[in-house]
A and B are shown apart, each in its own frame.
Chain A
Amino acid sequence: MKNSQLYKGSLNTILMKLLEENGKMYGYEITQKVKEITKGELKITEGALYPALHKLEAEGVLEVEVVQVDNRLRKYYKLTEKGSAETVNKLAELEEFIKNMQTIVNPKLSY
């Protein structure tokens, strides 16, 4: 991941937000979507993505669905009910963080 230390803490929130918007997604699709949205600025690596997805799955935030696509199996992730509720909190938390960072980094533009 680019600038990993800064982005790392928000990886779960990014994943949850994407799944909230797109319903079910598979790993490769997530990496491409993030790349597309950020115009290649942010690249989520496999080594960061899958452990995060597996952790969220174990916590009951995500559930999986395995579907036969072409000649192989594809594992889709989607938010559980608990996950959807948690996404709202996570996003509020992140917005608060961005707001505070903005005040610190650029006090003149603070709101």
Chain B
Amino acid sequence: MMQLSAENLKFIDTYLQNSGVFYYDIRLELVDHIATAVETKMNSDNLDFYNAFKNYMVENKSSLMKLNKESVGISWQTLNPFLVFLIKPLMLVLAIAIYAFYSFVNVHSFFSEQFTINELFFVFIVSLALFQIIYFHVLLKRRYFTIEKIGSILGILYYFQLFFVPAYENKKSSALTLSIITYFFVGYVLYFYSKIIDFKKTKIILH
């Protein structure tokens, strides 16, 4: 069985990158798929790498490029696991602890309900978004579909905040509102972290 060299694999990877497949985890899977198909072709049709690759691409490129349409956009499929995570027993204990903290330690009186929803929630979302941008582009250096998809939940939280803005003009402080907003913030951070840990276990991120 003919086996592709590291240069051949690099060639396929670069080809995909130039064709707009910019997520590294998707590319990694496709490189293996194409390489296996090309190796089979090289053996069965007695072709060299370039001709086998060319023949494969002529047949399959249009179907492969459909993968680019997979988007990280907002979907129920992304949001649902986050909501399930928020109602896990340990997370609910945390929610109660946050509420107890704000009720006993009198911090909430400095934050009116209006400020909490209109400004504080927004600051939380923007700082998380900034952190994600730095994490995606500076620390990871590569783009991963699986991770950026989790990040899209933040977009949903942003719309959620916009939805409440016009309705809240209450100047009174509220420990409950502050607790809910803090819970979303902490919950999101923990969820994002747990997902990154899961993803790292797949070892895709290390290569």
Complex contact A45–B202 (CB within 8 A)? no
Main secondary structure, interface of A, reads: mixed
Residue-wise interface mask of A (1-24) relative to B, using a CB-CB cutoff of 8 A (1 in contact, 0 not): 000000000000000000000000
Given contacts A65-B202, A66-B203, contact A75 B28 (CB under 8 A): yes
Q: Which B residues, 19 to 71, have Cβ-Cβ distances below 8 Å to chain A?
A: 26, 28-33, 35-37, 60, 62-67, 70
Closest to A57 in B: B146
Question: 24 A-B residue contacts at CB 8 Å?
Answer: A27-B32, A28-B32, A45-B63, A46-B33, A46-B60, A46-B64, A47-B62, A47-B64, A47-B67, A50-B70, A51-B70, A54-B145, A59-B77, A65-B202, A66-B204, A71-B5, A71-B9, A73-B203, A73-B204, A74-B32, A75-B28, A75-B29, A75-B32, A75-B204
- State the CA gap A28–B34 with chains docked (Å): 8
B66 A58 Cβ-Cβ under 8 A: no
Residues on A lying within 8 angstroms of B by beta carbon are: 26-28, 45-48, 50-51, 54-55, 58-60, 64-66, 69-75
Contact B67 A46 (CB under 8 A): yes
B152 to chain A, nearest CB (A): 12
